[in-house]
Amino acid sequence: MKLMTLLENTGSGNTSLHYEHGLSVFLECGTKRYIFDFGPTEKSLENARRLGVPVEKADFLIGSHGHYDHSGGYPAFVAAGCRQPLVTGAGYFRRKYSVEGIKCTYLGNSFDEAFLKAHGIEHRVCRDVLALSETEFIVSGFTRRCEFEAPPERFVLRDGDRFVRDDFSDEVCFVHKLKDGLFVLVGCSHPGILNILSSVQERFRMPVIGVVGGTHLMEASEERIRRTLTIVKGLGLRFVGFNHCSGALFQKIVEQDPDINAVHLGTGQGLFL
């Protein structure tokens, strides 16, 4: 398996690449290729070109959830010829906002299902486990066991003339079966990284040995982060490639953990497993 971060919040040694708040990842799993999330703008595609990534040859494009920083770059990929099936969770196109006091900010997609239809793009919706190949899967519908992982109250959905709490039931993760366990790629982990990983382990009955992506622990306390790491190590976790919304405190703590091989994956950085 090969993984390359097309775009993330931070740069790397390759100073020709753009970086901005968001996430986009390219994966090769055997003969299959996947693009997971698209960043907020066309810069993810521009980076893919500079990295020599053959985006037109991807088998599937996957949207982890309907926030702009993960979906905004999708129309640029379509304009570049990517007409592969788009895989998302149910509710991906619901209108998402952040509300703080009397101020609201639109955080949702810049395109809709009509855009997909106009470009002849198949939309596949994952409602539990969706097989993409014999070894790669999309998973949604995570069991919410850890109450302390509830998404912040500021994240809401527009429902007619009112706002309702966003439970991020549209969020999905990518799962790849390795010989000795599961690799999981996450977008923002709004449902909770523990809820996601424990649900994946339960469904596949294999240990989760690696995870890459955003953990959304940037606002978490040190106590919660240490508690999270203790639990995920019990699931079999051995390596973490964290980025995007994971936060500086998480980075500091996980990099000091002797039981986990942890690396930050900035723009233009990846893993070869």
State the CATH number of the domain containing residue 264.
Answer: 3.60.15.10
The CA dihedral of 184, 189, 194, 196, to the nearest 10 degrees, is -60
Whether residue 65 contacts residue 190, with contact meaning beta carbons closer than 8 Å, is answered with yes
Residues 54, 56, 57, CA angle at the centre, nearest 5°? Answer: 70
Predicted pLDDT at 118: 98
Tens-digit pLDDT profile for residues 148-207: 999 999 999 999 999 999 999 999 999 999 999 999 999 999 999 999 999 999 999 999
Predicted pLDDT at 273: 85
Element (H, E) at 103: strand 103-106
Report the C-alpha gap between 53 and 72 in whole angstroms: 19
Element (H, E) at 40: none
Edge-to-edge strands, sheet with 270-272: 123-126, 86-89, 60-62, 32-36, 24-29, 2-7, 270-272
Angle between helices 248-255 and 222-234 (to 10 degrees): 50
* DSSP annotation of 127: S
CA torsion sign for 233, 235, 240, 246 is negative
Report the C-alpha gap between 113 and 74 in whole angstroms: 13
Neighbours of 169 (CB within 10 A): 18
How many angstroms separate the Cα of 230 from the Cα of each of 225, 264, 272?
9, 19, 26
The mean pLDDT of the chain is 97
Domain that holds residue 60: 2-272
Residue 147 pLDDT level (bands cut at 50, 70, 90) = confident
| Number of folded domains that form the chain | 1
Q: Dig out the tokens for 221 from the structure.
A: 């306390």
pLDDT of 208 strictly over 90: yes
Tens-digit pLDDT profile for residues 97-141: 999 999 999 999 999 999 999 999 999 999 999 999 999 999 999
Q: Is the pTM value of this prediction over 0.95? A: yes
Element (H, E) at 79: helix 74-79
